[in-house]
Amino acid sequence: MQTLSLQQADLIRILQSRHTKTAIRVINLLLVIWIASMLATLTWDLLSPEEAVEQTEIVTETAALPVSPDRQLISQMPAWHLMGVAKQGNQPVPTTTSLDAPETKLKLILKGALASTDPEHARAIIADPRGKELQYAVGEKLPGNAELSEIHADRIILKRNGRFETLRLPKDKKSSNTVASRSVRARPTASPQRRLNNARQQLKKGANLANLVRATPKRGKGGKTIGYILSPGRDPDLFTQVGLQQGDVAIQINDIKLDNPTNSARALKSMQSGDSVSVTVLRGGQEQIVSLDWPE
């Protein structure tokens, strides 16, 4: 018991000494620093995900700011309308309904069709039940309470009572069947005069000149039509044999200038009568006259 009491007294005396108190203060300070460090680490771990996200977003946004001139041009190109702005007027848009439209029951005869890639230049010559012929443009009213909706090379599309109907160029079934059965044998030996005569007969019946030529409006300064660019039709040989060349610009037919759709329809009508056709073309910047003599 005395030994134990002595040890406790020595321990108390040591703890109460000045050096011991200093050591305890140092240990307590180190312990406080260690605890503060652990708390700081824990706090950083808790906050670091949000800060990392914010930092990533900031870097991403900062990296997106500089855009090269090429990328700026590419992003602006859709607003330039390089191919033009679509017109919202009477331009016909062929649909499945119009292409499959049934034959009209109106007593009308399609005498001629001037089809064009630009609907404003397309015209149709139509005869009413009394035989009176008039030319019509897309969107105009026709006899029988119908409206001209589309003009194609071999037919027109009417709209009557909300439904589409088809009016085709007249055909002679017997002669067409005969020509079709002989076309394979006759083509190798058919002369240009004979093919030209066939073209004229089709034209007199109201057909267009698709076998001979295709035409695209040619515009000059200010967008005004000055004529039509010619290219071969279904018979390229006949196109060249009558004196026409690819790229010729027809500016006048039989003294009728082709500077507007009305005159173009008049010129088409004039080709259905008479024994010859005089076509003034621009070729290489020079005017030349090509004469088509219809064979008898």
**pLDDT (tens digit per residue) in 103-130:** 998 999 988 887 777 778 788 889 888 8
Torsion angle, alpha carbons of 142, 145, 147, 152, to 10: -60
For the segment 8-52, what is each residue's pLDDT rounded down to a tens digit? 666 566 556 666 667 777 777 777 787 777 766 666 555 555 444
The pair of structure tokens assigned to 10 is 């020595």
Domain 96-168 has CATH 2.30.30.830: yes
Of residues 276 and 159, which shows the higher confidence score? 159
Using only C-alpha atoms, what is the Rg of the chain? 45
Min mean pLDDT across 39-53, 141-155, 261-275 is at 39-53
Query: Could you give the CA distance from residue 141 to residue 31 in angstroms, rounded to a whole number?
Result: 101
Of residues 281 and 274, which shows the higher confidence score? 281
Query: Could you give the CA distance from residue 48 to residue 45 in angstroms, rounded to a whole number?
Result: 5
What does the DSSP 8-state code read for residue 77?
Answer: G
Return the SS3 of 162: coil
Return the SS3 of 29: helix
pLDDT at residue 133 is higher than 80: yes
Give the pLDDT band of residue 74 (cuts 50, 70, 90).
very low
Q: pTM of the full predicted structure?
A: 0.42
191-293 belongs to which homologous superfamily? Answer: PDZ domain (2.30.42.10)
User: What pLDDT shows up at residue 166?
Assistant: 93
- Once rounded to an integer, what is the mean pLDDT over residues 55-62? 46
Strand ranges for 29-136 from DSSP E: 109-114, 123-127, 133-136
